[in-house]
Amino acid sequence: MDHASNVERDTAKLDDFLCFAIYSANHALNRVYKPLLDALGLTYTQYIAMVTLWERDDQTVGSLGEKLFLESSTLTPVLKRLEALGLIVRARDKADERQVRVQLTATGRALQDRAKTIPPCILEASGLDMNELTRLKTEIATLRSSLLR
Amino acid sequence: MDHASNVERDTAKLDDFLCFAIYSANHALNRVYKPLLDALGLTYTQYIAMVTLWERDDQTVGSLGEKLFLESSTLTPVLKRLEALGLIVRARDKADERQVRVQLTATGRALQDRAKTIPPCILEASGLDMNELTRLKTEIATLRSSLLR
DNA sequence: TGCGATTAAATCGCGAACGATTTATTTTAC
DNA sequence: GTAAAATAAATCGTTCGCGATTTAATCGCA
């Protein structure tokens, strides 16, 4: 089938949509992550928030939101749940009380070790080797940049 | 940086995660779609449900769910909203009353024309040409299959 | 100094998304 | 022919995710 056929065809098919491939791959990833994250007591969004804090502790809500591409209206409840789990503490910045600083607790830091088993599982489930995965990841990140432009 | 460095490094960075690339690209796509779909009065999930029905009318909830990789618990409320919008009708199958058949109304069918302007906008926003987009889409669909295996 | 503009986070309402359960129907196995 | 198993949707409770709004603090500038 000609690559231009989905433009010429009167009815675009679901499988022609890049957005649907990404949308459904995202759901598929969630399903693979679910049992792995259940073992840590985290949801996926909570997990990537922790990954961001493991990479750099003591960030503001705004800084986390910028890295995760999430609004404070999404992040605030997620962070409250992480705090309720005892993994982080949230406190107003003394120098600028508008900002809230998020810091890992000892428990939160310790969780990183247990989370180290996850990426290899995902790599395995992806059916890709490290090089292919890295290339695909980069292409998708580039697409994201274009879309946000 | 060596491609294997994110395995050897003690702290995996957010940008090393394929899942995060897909997760955030999905959100970025949603943001591009939002204003386009607002004009049609649809959400993204409602839109892909309509795309599926434009491709083939008169499907059961189960068949739609299979194609969209969604559960009935997600789909039922989405379809109810599409019905409330007057775009579809839902009715129990006479031959097997367990199933609910979903059919387009004239309004729902007519909407396809107005939706035709959307894919070119997305192609443009993606910064990709048709060949690149098709290749990337296929790679991501392959990844999805591996993950669901 | 002081007051309007800006910034940061939180709140609220709505629509996904899922797992677990429930309800209703059909199939099957005896 | 009926009771048990299986199937299809729907319902319920929880967590995202966003836009719009609100609250509170800081900045800017006259």
CA–CA gap between residue A140 and residue B133 (Å, rounded): 11
Whether CB of A65 is under 7 Å from strand C: the answer is yes
Residues of A in contact with B29 (CB under 8 A): 19, 22-23, 147
What is the model's pLDDT at position B11? 80
What is the model's pLDDT at position A121? 95
Contact assignment for A14 to B136 by CB distance below 8 Å: no
Spacing of B7 CA from C22 C1' in Å? 46
pLDDT of A2 > 90? The answer is no
What is the model's pLDDT at position A26? 97
Does A3 reach chain B within 8 Å, measured CB to CB?
Answer: yes
What is the model's pLDDT at position A54? 98
User: What integer best gives the mean pLDDT of chain B?
Assistant: 93
Average pLDDT over residues A3-28: 81
Whether CB of A82 is under 7 Å from strand C: the answer is no
Helices H / strands E in chain A, number of each = 8, 3
pLDDT of B63 > 50? The answer is yes
Local confidence band at A128 (pLDDT 50, 70, 90 cut-offs): very high
Residues of A in contact with B141 (CB under 8 A): 15, 21, 24-25
The string of DSSP letters for B48-111 reads HHHHHHHHSSSEEHHHHHHHHT--HHHHHHHHHHHHHTTSEEEEE-SS-TT-EEEEE-HHHHHH
Side-chain half-sphere CA neighbours of B43 within 13 A: 9
What is the model's pLDDT at position B9? 60
What is the model's pLDDT at position B149? 86
Each residue's pLDDT tens digit, B66-109: 999 999 999 999 999 999 999 999 999 999 999 999 999 999 99
CA–CA gap between residue A41 and residue A34 (Å, rounded): 10
pLDDT of A137 > 50? The answer is yes
Q: Of A90, A91, A86, which Cα lies nearest the Cα of A110?
A: A86
Whether CB of B52 is under 7 Å from strand C: the answer is no
Chain D positions with any atom < 7 A from a protein CB: 7-13, 15-20, 24-27
pLDDT of A57 > 90? The answer is yes
β-bridge partners, B102: B59, B90
Q: Which residues contact residue B97 at a Cβ distance below 8 angstroms, ignoring those fewer than 6 apart? A: none
What is the model's pLDDT at position A9? 60
Please give the single-letter amino acid code of residue A87. Answer: L
User: What integer best gives the mean pLDDT of chain A?
Assistant: 93
Average pLDDT over residues A38-59: 97
Spacing of B96 CA from D4 C1' in Å? 20
pLDDT of A25 > 80? The answer is yes
Question: Which of A14, A126, A147 comes nearest B147 by C-beta?
Answer: A126
Contact assignment for B140 to A21 by CB distance below 8 Å: yes
Residues of A in contact with B13 (CB under 8 A): 55
pLDDT of A85 > 90? The answer is yes
Each residue's pLDDT tens digit, B18-52: 999 999 999 999 999 999 999 999 999 999 999 99
Each residue's pLDDT tens digit, B105-132: 999 999 999 999 999 999 999 999 999 9
What is the model's pLDDT at position B74? 97
- Strands of the A88-92 sheet, one edge to the other: A59-60, A100-104, A88-92
The string of DSSP letters for A37-82 reads HHTTT--HHHHHHHHHHHHSSSEEHHHHHHHHT--HHHHHHHHHHH
Contact B26, A71 (CB under 8 A): no
How far apart are the CA of A73 and the nearest CA of chain B, in angstroms?
A: 15
